[in-house]
Structure 1
Amino acid sequence: MPLPPVHQTLRHALRLAFGWIFLVLGVLGLFLPLLQGLLFLVIGSALLAPGNPHLARMRERFYRRFPRVRQWTQRLHDHFHRRKT
């Protein structure tokens, strides 16, 4: 069953907000020793990739280079998007 338009808009806004927050944390993490910069950059770009073709292409190149990461993210996606019966 598709979500109502209000929920889709809210989901999109939250995805954008968290994506940008993770990207900013990733950039800060590149310079600060306590933050894992690369991890936050990957999470932020994964959140923003569905709306940005450039980031989607970068994600696909990353998955081709690291196929185990693709398998791991696919398992997570399947786990969180399976239908409840």
Structure 2
Amino acid sequence: MMRTIAAMGLAALLCACGTRAPLTPPDGAALPAAPYGTATKPSAEELLRRDALAAPERSVELRRRSEERQDDPFDLPPE
């Protein structure tokens, strides 16, 4: 019981440590070069932003009731 509480406390501390300062490259390193065809380098926030193709909206339609499966001609028994 005490181990569980201690582990949860440690996990909470580790989760909170990343939100103290904005992300910056390490000392001596720079952000990636500007993409081909652009004159300016993107900022760290722009590099972390995902476009719609990288994170599409879910389009899963939930089933309201059970339905019979259609016959699958490729569902063959092993040989």
Task: Compute the TM-score of the two structures, normalised by the length of structure 1.
Answer: 0.28
What TM-score does the superposition give when structure 2 sets the normalisation length?
0.29
| Structure showing greater relative contact order (alpha-carbon pairs closer than 8 Å, 6 or more residues apart) | 1
Larger Rg: 2
